[in-house]
Structure 1
Amino acid sequence: MNKKLIIIIVLLLVIVGGLTYFSFQQHNENKEMAQLFALDKQEMENEYNSFATQYDELQVQINNDSLKQKLESEKLKTQRLLEELRQVKTTDAAEIARLKKELKTVRAVLRTYIIQIDSLNRLNEVLTNENKEVKMKYSEATSQINSLSQEKKNLNQKVTLAAQLDATNISISAKNKRGKETDKVSNVKKLAISFSIVKNITAETGERTLYIRIAKPDNDILSNGNSTFTYENRSLDYSIKKYIEYTGEEQNVTVYWDVQEYLPAGTYNVYIFAEGNMIGQKSFSLK
């Protein structure tokens, strides 16, 4: 073998060895790069997940609907980018770089909202403390007003009670067709109810309307129908309606009920009302 051939063979061996070494080095570098991209991708996924969770936590801290909608929009964007990242291959360096850039934007936006919400929370805390103080003062003022109102109400009730009409000396007479008194229910044709409206200088003078209710033993009211008045926010049937001109002095009143219905034996009750108050009551019995 001549000298030139030996030199050529040696050169070829050097070249082949160099290429083999370079290929081996390149393979190792590519493997290391792939591992780095995989780690980088995993780290980015963790951050995206963390940001989405933080958006949820921020939404819980606020009551502002407009701000909640913005946070929800950012959270959905973060979840969309996370899904894109999961679909990217570790060898797609360009796409990973793009999503890394997006991650920086998400991080900056999230930081802005955190600062904004923290500021709002601190402001709300100040306003809450001020509100508590205002409520306390208002409660104290309301308590004083209620106390004065109750005193006034008590005085008004006393004045109202003092001015209320009162019926005394109530008597009921059952009469037969000849106008004579009877206690036999089968003979009763008319009921005469007499009473006195007592003197009261504190009561207003003028026309007054009296309502008389006659209750049978079963508590059914003797009534001509469609005859009602208001008492304690209820409509009550009445038997007799009587107008009087009250002068403040004692006044005797007599009213009559003509019996046209069946009357059972037993105890009857008569109730007298005026100006929304029951001013007298009396019972009587028929055999």
Structure 2
Amino acid sequence: MTNKKYILIAGILLVLALIGVTVLLMFEKQTNKELVLEFNLDKEDLENQYTDFAKQYDELKLTVSNDSLSTLLEQEQVKTQRLLEELRTVKSSNASEIRRLKNELASLRKIMIGYINQIDSLNRLTAHQKEIIADVTQKYNAASRQISNLSEEKKNLTKTVTLAAQLDATNINVLAVNKRDKVAKKVKDVVKFKINFTIVKNITAETGERTLYIRITKPDNDVLTKNASNTFAYENRNLAYSIKKYIEYNGEEQNLTVYWNVEEFLYAGKYRVDIFADGTMIGSQSFTLE
């Protein structure tokens, strides 16, 4: 071979070598670009995971009423946010740091799962406690209603017993008599009222001395009385009476008569006699004078 041929072959080989090197460099550059893109995507995905993870703590804290557990969740959330800030400052190509932060995230997930289990357990316990409280409240309300009903029954029974124990005046008869002790035919001749009545038998009534108050009311509702101070208590007020009568009550029937001496002007019309004992009206009767 001549020198020219050697030179030509060497030149061709050199060109081929340059082309090969160029192709390798272009391939490596493309590979590096793909790696950089992959690193960036990997880092971006990790950032999104940290961000979502931090938000989950906010949701968890809304389900917690336990102060100690809420404080621990707050601490873990702060730690997550701090690691997120670290991640944002790390270069995508720093594989060791990215790997470390991935491991940190995995640890945080395990811790969160533990908290979720605690919260779930507490919520189940709280739900059970609410059921117990609701059951106790229901039983208490039922007992209260029963006590209230018993109290009302007792009150009604007491009222019934009280009513049964009251004296009762019947057969009330009023005679307006003249000075000859005869029934007066005209109102101007009346000098006395003779009031007859019967206290009926009552074995439930208290025996002993009792005080009867008799009110004689004129047609204008004015009460006949000898003294304005002659009053007795009745339903939180004082009423004037005409006649006061003491009796010794033994539970048996008693026929009684009381008198009212007429010293005031009387006029024709409808009169009424009311009899009271123990703060209760026990009998009433109307009569007419002409």
> Which residue identity is paired with 2:169?
A
- Partners of 1:250 and 1:147 lie apart in 2 by 37
Q: By how many angstroms is 1:215 displaced?
A: 0.5
From 166, 185, 188, the equivalent of 1:164 is 166
Which residue of the partner structure matches residue 77 of structure 2? none
| 1:220 counterpart SS class | coil
From 150, 167, 179, the equivalent of 2:152 is 150
- Partners of 1:226 and 1:233 lie apart in 2 by 17
Whether the 8 Å CA contact 1:205–1:248 is kept in 2: the answer is yes
> Which residue identity is paired with 1:166?
D
| 1:146 counterpart SS class | helix
> Which residue identity is paired with 2:231?
T
- Partners of 1:267 and 1:135 lie apart in 2 by 62
Query: For structure 1, which segment, 174-183 or 248-257, has the greater mean C-alpha deviation from structure 2 after superposition?
Result: 174-183
* Structure 2, unaligned runs of 5 or more: 1-129
> Which residue identity is paired with 2:172?
I
Whether the 8 Å CA contact 1:170–1:196 is kept in 2: the answer is yes
Whether the 8 Å CA contact 1:175–1:182 is kept in 2: the answer is yes
Q: Which has the larger radius of gyration?
A: 2
From 280, 284, 287, the equivalent of 1:284 is 287
Alignment length (residue pairs): 158
- Partners of 1:135 and 1:214 lie apart in 2 by 58
Q: By how many angstroms is 1:141 displaced?
A: 4.4
Q: By how many angstroms is 1:243 displaced?
A: 0.2
Which residue of the partner structure matches residue 266 of structure 2? 263
Distance 1:144 1:168, change over 3 A: same
Which residue of the partner structure matches residue 198 of structure 2? 196
- The reply on whether 1:229 has 2:232 as its aligned counterpart is yes
- Partners of 2:281 and 2:137 lie apart in 1 by 43
Distance 1:150 1:173, change over 3 A: same
| 1:153 counterpart SS class | helix
* Structure 1, unaligned runs of 5 or more: 1-128
Q: By how many angstroms is 1:183 displaced?
A: 3.5
Whether the 8 Å CA contact 1:196–1:253 is kept in 2: the answer is yes
Q: State the TM-score, normalizing by the size of structure 1.
A: 0.51
Q: By how many angstroms is 1:205 displaced?
A: 0.9
- Partners of 1:138 and 1:232 lie apart in 2 by 37
Q: By how many angstroms is 1:143 displaced?
A: 2.8
Q: By how many angstroms is 1:135 displaced?
A: 8.1
- Partners of 1:230 and 1:135 lie apart in 2 by 46
Segments ≥4 residues shifted beyond 4 Å: 132-141
Q: State the TM-score, normalizing by the size of structure 2.
A: 0.51
Q: By how many angstroms is 1:139 displaced?
A: 5.2
Q: Deviations over 1:91-145 (max 9, x none)?
A: xxxxxxxxxxxxxxxxxxxxxxxxxxxxxxxxxxxxxx9xx97987765544332
> Which residue identity is paired with 1:192?
K
In the TM superposition, what are the counterparts of 1:206-217 in structure 2 within 5 Å? 206-217=208-219
Indicate the RMSD between aligned Cα atoms, in angstroms.
Answer: 2.1
Whether the 8 Å CA contact 1:183–1:285 is kept in 2: the answer is no
> Which residue identity is paired with 1:244?
I
Which residue of the partner structure matches residue 65 of structure 1? none
